[in-house]
Structure formats: C-alpha cells, structure tokens
Amino acid sequence: MDQYGDCSFCGGDVVLRNVELDYRHKDKLYVFQNVPAGICRQCGEKYLTAHVAKKIEHTIHTKQNWNKIKVPMTTFEPMEVVAKS
Ligand SMILES: [Zn+2]
C-alpha cells in the first residue's frame, strides 16, 4: 500500500519507515520514537499521515508521564552585520 506518493519537494520515492521525530509544540520540544512516517529516499523529507499527526497532538495533550531527556542548547551571540566586500 503506497499512501505517501512522490516527494513534493524533489519528486523522489517516499518509503515507510519507523523514525524518531522531533516535534515542537508551544515552547516545548517533544521527541517521539518509532513513529511510522514516509521518508523521501532522495532528500530525506518526512511525511506524516493525518492519523499519525493527530495521534501526536493527542499524546501531547493527554500524556502525563513523559520520559525526560536533556538536550544540548546554546544561543548565538548577536552578530554584527557582515561588511560588504
Ligand atoms: Zn524529496
């Protein structure tokens, strides 16, 4: 069953894989493992079915006991505008 079709960015083959997915919701970053998603074999773009996207939203709103991991984070110093050459 091919439910993903071709990649809308590059036209490549999109194949079903179970992947790790980073998902931002409000100011939090959630990590979902073993998510069934379509992955473009050429450019790596991820595609979620409406069902999976809904399940992710539902989980974010209802799940209580999340595993917490530490994520490295940094902030760039404000950069001067690069001088024209
Ligand atoms: Zn692609």
Q: How far is the CA of 3 from the centre of ligand 1 (A)?
A: 15
Q: How far is the CA of 1 from the centre of ligand 1 (A)?
A: 19
Q: What is the pLDDT of residue 4?
A: 83
- pTM, two decimals, is 0.75
Q: What is the pLDDT of residue 85?
A: 62
Domains and CATH numbers, the chain: 1-85 (3.10.20.860)
Q: How far is the CA of 13 from the centre of ligand 1 (A)?
A: 7
Question: 37 is written with which tokens?
Answer: 């998603």
Q: Give per-residue pLDDT as tens, 11-62.
A: 999 999 999 999 999 999 999 999 999 999 999 999 999 999 999 999 999 9
Q: Which of 3, 17, 24, 25 is nearest to 45 (CA)?
A: 17
Helix (H) or strand (E) holding 81: none
Q: What is the pLDDT of residue 10?
A: 97
Q: How far is the CA of 37 from the centre of ligand 1 (A)?
A: 13
3-state class of 47 per DSSP?
Answer: strand
